[in-house]
């Protein structure tokens, strides 16, 4: 016995096939239109043998593209260094109703989050500047940890602030300041 096909089944099968073809065609047309209008093709150049070559981006064109990215990276690292400078950090985050240990935790967490936020920008700066920025971050965290060890975990946050300020004054030239100077010196080379 052969299965019988009912006319409504064939009609539904035909309607579904037509819908699939229409949707597929529309997607194809839209995709083709999108790719045609979003792709910029470089002008082709023929070499000595009649083959077409696509020219590479010129050095000047590459600099025009990279320079704004590099400057933005330097700006972000200047902002990062200013934000993690102990005096700015303490003024921004200190609260009199928390302990030294709580303030230490908040300070270290803030420094690390700021650093991670700017991590990808290292692609656009020199290795020397990057090393100085990393060193500034680590030294600032180390100073905060040393100050917390001096005052004890249960001291109030005001005591920790006082000790960090004393350490900042006694060190004089902080790694944060050195990194800022180096970044400014490098940016001056662009102009």
**pLDDT tens digits along 92-124:** 998 889 999 999 999 999 999 999 999 999 998
The predicted model gives 177-188 an average pLDDT of: 92
Residue 156 pairs with which residues in a beta bridge?
A: 99
pLDDT at 10 over 90: no
- Of 5-9, 35-39, 82-86, the range with the lowest mean pLDDT is 5-9
**Calpha distance 147→162 (Å, rounded):** 9
**Calpha distance 154→101 (Å, rounded):** 7
Share of the chain above pLDDT 90, in %: 54
**Calpha distance 158→97 (Å, rounded):** 9
| CB distance 87 to 143 below 8 Å | no
Per-residue pLDDT at 33: 75
**Calpha distance 89→109 (Å, rounded):** 11
What is the value of pTM for the model shown? Answer: 0.66
**pLDDT tens digits along 21-76:** 777 777 778 777 777 776 654 444 445 555 555 455 556 666 777 888 889 999 99
**Calpha distance 183→88 (Å, rounded):** 19
- The label of the residue with tokens 């077409």 reads 52
Radius of gyration, alpha carbons of the chain: 31
């Amino acid at each position: 016995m052969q299965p019988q096909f009912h006319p409504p089944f064939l009609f539904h099968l035909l309607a579904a096939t037509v819908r699939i073809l229409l949707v597929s065609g529309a997607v194809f047309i839209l995709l083709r239109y999108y790719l045609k209008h979003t792709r910029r093709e470089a002008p082709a150049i023929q070499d000595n043998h009649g083959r077409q070559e696509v020219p590479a981006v010129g050095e000047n064109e590459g600099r025009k593209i990279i320079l704004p990215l590099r400057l933005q990276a330097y700006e972000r690292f200047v902002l990062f260094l200013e934000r993690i400078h102990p005096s700015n950090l303490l003024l921004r985050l200190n609260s009199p109703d928390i302990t030294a240990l709580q303030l230490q935790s908040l300070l270290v967490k803030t420094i690390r989050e700021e650093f991670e936020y700017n991590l990808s920008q290292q692609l656009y700066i020199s290795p020397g500047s990057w090393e100085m920025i990393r060193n500034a971050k680590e030294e600032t965290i180390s100073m905060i940890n040393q100050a917390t060890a001096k005052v004890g975990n249960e001291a109030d946050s005001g005591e920790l602030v006082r000790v960090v300020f004393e350490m900042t004054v006694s060190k004089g030239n902080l790694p944060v300041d050195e990194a800022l100077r180096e970044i400014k010196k490098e940016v001056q080379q662009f102009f």
